[in-house]
Amino acid sequence: MALHGDYEPSPSAWVREQVEDYEASGGREANTLMNRPEWPIVVITSQGAKTGKLRKNPVMRVESGGVYAAVASKGGAPEHPVWYDNFIAHPVVELQDGPEPRLYRARLAEGNERQEWWERSVAVYAPYADYQEKTDRLIPVFLLEPVEE
């Protein structure tokens, strides 16, 4: 089972290139942010909230017990990344962590659960803490749980 629709590559060259290299290599290449092995990524495909087109984004790999976190930081910008709206409108996404993508259902973490996953995310990618200091919004954390096929 997979998401279906027209794929529209990111207008951002680095995102587009990282996704292409990651997918072409089955996740063996382009699997870290800025070529830093301590910053692993996964690729998430979501359906556009407005266009319905498929969008792909590299996101930091934060995983525990088969559940993944997707931190909507946008580098501490005042607004959420575009994929935030995609996850809200169409919560079933594809996540690729290695050679094969799988379906996951995204939901916003809240309260103690959000705090636990926020700390786990900062442990993987320390700049998240700096991003939170840069913005007045509470940076959302989505949990991606496997969809049984």
Q: What is the predicted pLDDT for the residue at 144? A: 98
- CATH classification number, 13-146, choose in 1.10.1200.10, 3.90.79.10, 2.30.110.10, 3.40.720.10: 2.30.110.10
Taking 90 as the threshold, does the pLDDT of residue 16 lie above it?
yes
CB 77 within 8 Å of CB 140: no
Q: What is the mean pLDDT of the chain?
A: 96
How far is 130 from 116, CA to CA, in rounded Å?
17
Residues 6+ apart with CB under 8 A from 8: 48, 51, 53, 54, 55
Taking 70 as the threshold, does the pLDDT of residue 149 lie above it?
no
For the chain, the domains span: 13-146
How far is 100 from 70, CA to CA, in rounded Å?
18
How far is 61 from 70, CA to CA, in rounded Å?
8
Q: What is the pLDDT of residues 49-93, one digit of tens each?
A: 999 999 999 999 999 999 999 999 999 999 999 999 999 999 999
Q: What is the predicted pLDDT for the residue at 148? A: 83
Q: What is the predicted pLDDT for the residue at 118? A: 98
Q: What is the pLDDT averaged over residues 17-36?
A: 94
Q: What is the pLDDT of residues 91-105, one digit of tens each?
A: 999 999 999 999 999
Report if pTM > 0.85: yes
